[in-house]
């Protein structure tokens, strides 16, 4: 507990009005933290209002804000520097790592298909049994690897059990 003179020097508003002299230091500290909360809320509110002015789905959109149209480079893309953009980049990096890991697994457990030993292939059933301990997203990663022309296989989708005989070829 402090003295009344200590608590009266703590300011509790923008008008520089001292806290009441009869309050303890703990109570006076609440005035300071409430002031900080108020300032933080005001700051967030102002930033949110500015953001909403540029949000095309907000009722507060200024008519002068240009909304990207189909065909423009930034159409359907998050704002540069936003958290959404960063999450997208992080997801892309993670998926690329999983595709590389899948190619390494195919290289390790696959068998050479030609006399040179350059073309490596593995059956889906064998790959599934081995890869299930690594990830539960094998088919999705295979589809992504095929889109990037790293692997090739017949069919549009692979199903466990039904497509265990399908040969997956490593292209690179």
151 in Cβ contact with 110 (< 8 Å): no
**What is the pLDDT at residue 145?**
93
Q: Within 10 Å of residue 102's Cβ, how many Cβ atoms?
A: 24
Q: Which residue has the higher pLDDT, 112 or 1?
A: 112
Instruction: Give Cα 167 to chain centroid, integer Å.
Output: 34
What DSSP string runs through 15-35? T-PBPPTTS-HHHHHHHHHHH
pLDDT tens-digit map of 55-85: 777 776 555 556 678 888 878 888 788 899 9
Whether pLDDT at 10 is above 70: no
pLDDT tens-digit map of 140-156: 999 999 999 999 999 88
Question: Measured between alpha carbons, how far is 45 from 49 in angstroms, rounded to an integer?
Answer: 6
**What is the pLDDT at residue 96?**
93
Question: Measured between alpha carbons, how far is 77 from 69 in angstroms, rounded to an integer?
Answer: 11
Whole-model pTM?
0.56
Q: Which of 2, 40, 39, 35 is nearest to 17 (CA)?
A: 35
Phi–psi pair at 103, nearest 5 degrees: -60, -40
**Summary count for the chain: helices (H), strands (E):** 5, 4
Q: Which of 38, 40, 4 is nearest to 23 (CA)?
A: 4
Question: Measured between alpha carbons, how far is 162 from 152 in angstroms, rounded to an integer?
Answer: 18
Q: Within 10 Å of residue 46's Cβ, how many Cβ atoms?
A: 10
Question: Which two three-digit tokens encode residue 148?
Answer: 């990037």
**What is the pLDDT at residue 18?**
56
pLDDT tens-digit map of 106-133: 999 988 887 776 788 999 999 998 887 7
Q: Which of 143, 63, 58, 47 is nearest to 95 (CA)?
A: 143
| SS3 of residue 111 by DSSP | strand
């Amino acid at each position: 507990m402090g003295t009344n003179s200590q608590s009266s020097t703590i300011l509790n508003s923008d008008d520089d009005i001292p806290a009441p002299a009869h309050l303890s230091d703990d109570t006076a500290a609440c005035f300071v933290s409430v002031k900080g909360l108020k300032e933080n809320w005001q700051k967030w509110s102002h930033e949110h209002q500015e953001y909403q002015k540029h949000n095309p789905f907000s009722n507060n959109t200024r008519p002068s804000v240009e909304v990207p149209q189909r065909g423009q480079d930034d159409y359907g893309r998050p704002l540069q520097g936003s958290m959404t953009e960063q999450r997208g980049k992080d997801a892309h990096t993670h998926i690329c790592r999983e595709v590389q890991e899948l190619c390494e697994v195919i290289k390790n457990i696959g068998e050479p298909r030609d006399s040179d030993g350059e073309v490596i292939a593995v059956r889906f059933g064998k790959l599934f049994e081995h890869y299930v301990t690594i990830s539960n997203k094998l088919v999705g990663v295979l589809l992504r690897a095929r889109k990037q022309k790293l692997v090739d296989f017949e069919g549009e989708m692979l199903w466990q059990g039904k497509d265990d005989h399908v040969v997956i070829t490593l292209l690179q």
